[in-house]
Amino acid sequence: MAREREPRTPRTPAPEQWSQLGGEIRGGRHVLPVRVYYEDTDFTGIVYHASFLRFMERGRTEYMRRIGAGHRDLFEQAASEAPGFGFVVRSMRIDYLKPAHMDDVLEIVTEPEEVKGASVTVLQRVTRDGEVLVEAHVRVAFVAGGQARPIPKPLRIAMQAGRERASDTADSSR
């Protein structure tokens, strides 16, 4: 007997009791807590280098969600304007400074560094108790149909505002 497919219901943001799930914006920077699990480590219990890339991808995704641009919403809005669009990592410069270990609680800090027409560069730091373990500069491009396209204006404005808030916070702490 063939199963009928249930109609897809729109997803809603996490309920209030899970609001901390996606981290928070602090002074223009997005901060996402991540616990290190066994699956994130090598056989010595040290975080495998590629696990940091996954942590940072989560940080970028949750940052976008927090500024009002969740991936699902973006896909639905841009489908008619720019079919086949997506964000792609264009380049990444990463420095592994210190190791992380199984059961550590890390913070993935994401802030916009430079916002251009079709790309954004974000600075991401993985910290433990305020100490920087990994730092990366990630350039992400907005593409559609295999070509770079302008970032949708509302998203670009939100990222620029976040960049200004982060700069203001950094300036006032000096």
Instruction: For residue range 128-169, list pLDDT tens digits in order.
Output: 999 999 999 999 998 888 888 887 777 777 777 766 666 666
Paired residues of 165 in beta bridges? none
Backbone angles phi, psi at 143, to 5 degrees: -130, 155
The pTM (predicted TM-score) of the whole model is: 0.79
Indicate if 129 belongs to the active site: no
| Catalytic residue selected from 40, 42, 73, 103 | 42
Q: Which residues pair with 29 in a beta bridge?
A: 26
The two tokens of residue 148 are 């770079």
Alpha helices (H) along the chain:
49-66, 71-81, 153-172
Nearest to 22 by CA among 84, 52, 65: 65
Length of the chain as a residue count: 174
CATH class of 25-172: alpha beta
State residue 7's pLDDT score.
Answer: 56
